[in-house]
Structure 1
Amino acid sequence: MGYKTTLNQTVILENPPLCYTSLSGSCQKLVYPKEVQSLLYILFAFISLLTFLGNLLVIITVIHFKQLHTPTNYLILSLAVADLCIGGVVMPPSMLRSVESCWYLGSFFCKIHTSLDVTLCTASILNLCVISVDRYYAVCHPLLYHSIMTPNATAFMIGVCWTVSAFVGFGMIFLELGILGDEDYYYSNVACEGGCILFLSKTASSVLQTNF
């Protein structure tokens, strides 16, 4: 059974709309009223633009002013780069998928987009963790701070953050580690033409929780 969302009710359709009407393995499409679609596009575009411009301002400020070239601000710069890429690269295709409820950009770009999404979100989280470590030493061990949080140590931590994030993001998607142990279920019940979702099996989730 298919569903069409209206402003006042949900109507059950006998012939549900599909992302690709000519393909038998197509995903079902959730059709929003035009007014709702327009409002969602405006809202998501505003959030994406705000995220991009806000982090761009942080990046320009840190790079431009030499007095801000400190280990702490380099960590903030790394965080801003990750969030800028989320706003400029990940959010626009996600907006299209959310509003249209289908993915029309191809399976390969779906893998690229999902990999970047996981990579950048992981990098953002890891950078926040490193910043918290930096602040911990600055507040609790101020006499040791400058000997521990050196520029080389900061560069090393930033490199580790991005390397681990890229391995998790691209490795999980392109090596299909996310569906590890549930391959048959994924291809039989989840995968369809016009869909682009991040699927994590119990095995993959357990591995990620163990590593982090």
Structure 2
Amino acid sequence: MHLTAVNQSDVCQEYLCPEKSVSLSVYVILYVAAAAVSLLTVCGNLLVIISVSHFKQLHTPANILILSLAVADLLTGVAVMPFHWTLLIESCWTSGPVMCSALKIVNFQATSVSVYTVALIAVDRFLALNSPFLYSEKISPTVICIATLFNWLFSLIYNLIILFINGNFTDVTCPGICFAIIDGVSSFVDLIVVFLMPCTLIIILYTHVFVIAKRHATAIRALQVHNSTRSSKNRISDKSERKAAILLGILVIVFLLCLLPYYICSLVIPYSNPDLFYVRDVAVIFFFLNSTINPIIYALFYPWFQKSLKLIFTFQVFNKDSSLMNVL
């Protein structure tokens, strides 16, 4: 939840917590919906974390990145979503300045790590398809763990700096309001670092991944000798090609749709207009929904996750040597 540039002292003089204007039934429905989304986010990402951590067959470079993404999204579901939903429903911050500062740090960290982990997944898949021999030789779980650790540390340092230099930890938070203060220059830098750079990388790499996958499928069809075999394998190849195209399309489109509303609002809505803060905060919902959807996109598409779920829900993970079970 980045890019909120505003003069806080001006807003403090104008803002008062509004009285509740909705009926009790609407009030309850809003809280139930908010709780359901948060719970879905937490449970979905927690299942991914358990699956990848427990089963040794899943300790691969690609799955380590999925694990990192799930941890960041779990952090969003546990420590960010509940407070943001409450702020939206109540239209007033009641948890004090310390919790507000903590929310800023966790929110910025979780979203940044999530975005850059998606970019790392794109890099991983591109290398695996473009240079499979080099990938198997050079890209080990240790290398990916180092890249993941660097991602978390870089995001933490970057977010602490950008929040600190804009006075988010030294200025007194207004009663009833909790938002990040970022000036125009920092907003522009943040837009490039957190949105434009990773999103451009993701689009370019996934485009190359699709082209490479299509080229591989064409090469496989060209190698078939017998008509019957060619016909059968062509169907398999065509099906795999379509599946890859659909999956890549879903990955890119959903990711961009979740991020675009907030960044569009941040650029279009005047920063000095406190009356429109609520519009920007509503747009953040789509940003957070990316954390809810990620487990579905990056895990439920894979058979290994479905097998892991069966073992988890039937409590077979508590059996001796269950970590050595075949889930592939």
Same fold judged by TM-score > 0.5?
A: yes
Q: How far apart, in 2, do the equivalents of 1:30 and 1:164 lie?
A: 41
Contact 2:166 2:181 in 1 (8 A): no
d(CA) in 1 for partners of 2:111, 2:13: 34
The 1-side partners of 2:41 and 2:192 are apart by 31
CA distance in 2, matches of 1:96, 1:117: 15
**TM-score when scaled to structure 1?**
0.77
Mapped pair 1:104 → 2:94: yes
Query: Larger C-alpha radius of gyration, 1 or 2?
Result: 2
Hey, what's the Cα distance between the residues in 2 that align with 1:24 and 1:208? Answer: 28
TM-score by structure 2 length? 0.51
* CA gap 1:123/1:164 in 2 versus in 1, 3 angstroms: same
2:208 aligned residue: none
Q: CA RMSD in A?
A: 2.5
Report what 1:13 is aligned to. none
Query: Which residue of the other structure, out of 172, 186, 211, is the alignment partner of 1:204?
Result: 186
The percentage of aligned residue pairs carrying the same residue is 35
Cα displacement (A) at 1:95: 1.4
How far 1:24 moved relative to its partner? 7.2
Distance 2:137 2:191 in 1: 32
Partner Cα separation in structure 2 for residue 208 and residue 27 of structure 1: 29
Counterparts of 1:1-212 in structure 2 under 5 Å?
27-29=16-18, 31-33=20-22, 34-173=24-163, 175-177=164-166, 192-209=174-191, 211=193, 212=197
1:74/1:108 Cα in 2 relative to 1: closer, same or farther (>3 Å)? Answer: same
Q: Distance in 1 between matches of 2:174 and 2:78?
A: 27
Relative contact order (alpha carbons < 8 A, sep ≥ 6): 1 or 2 greater? Answer: 2
Q: Is the 8 A contact 2:59 2:141 kept in 1?
A: no
Cα deviation digits, residues 41-90 of structure 1 (max 9, x gap): 01111000000000000010111111111111111101100001111111
Output the amino acid matched with 1:93: F
Question: Using the alignment, how far apart are the partners of 1:63 and 1:210 within structure 2?
Answer: 33
How many corresponding residue pairs? 181
Partner-residue secondary structure (3-state), 1:177: coil
Query: How many angstroms does 1:114 deviate by?
Result: 1.2
CA distance in 2, matches of 1:178, 1:144: 46
1:36 is displaced (CA, Å) by 2.1
* Deviations 1:168-196, CA, capped at 9 Å, x for gaps: 333333x14377xxxxxx99xxx631100
**CA–CA separation in structure 2 for the residues paired with 1:109 and 1:171:** 19
Q: Which amino acid aligns with 2:145?
A: A
Change in Cα spacing, 1:140 to 1:193, as seen in structure 2 (3 Å) is: same
Deviation of 1:200 (Å): 2.5
Q: Which runs of 5+ in 1 are unaligned?
A: 1-22, 180-185
- Bigger mean CA deviation after superposition, 24-33 or 109-118: 24-33
Given that residues 62 and 77 in structure 1 are in contact (C-alpha distance below 8 angstroms), is that contact kept between their aligned partners in structure 2? yes
Q: Tell me, which stretches of 5 or more residues in structure 2 are unaligned?
A: 1-11, 198-328
Q: Which amino acid aligns with 2:166?
A: L
Query: CA 1:145 to 1:26, structure 2 compared with 1: closer, same or farther past 3 Å?
Result: same
Higher share in helix: 2
Q: Please say if residues 27 and 192 of structure 1, whose CA atoms lie closer than 8 Å, have aligned partners that are also in contact.
A: no
Q: Which moved more, 1:31-40 or 1:93-102?
A: 31-40
Q: For residue 156 of structure 1, report the CA deviation from its aligned partner.
A: 1.6
Stretch moving more, 161-170 or 43-52: 161-170
1:100–1:176 Cα change, 3 Å: farther
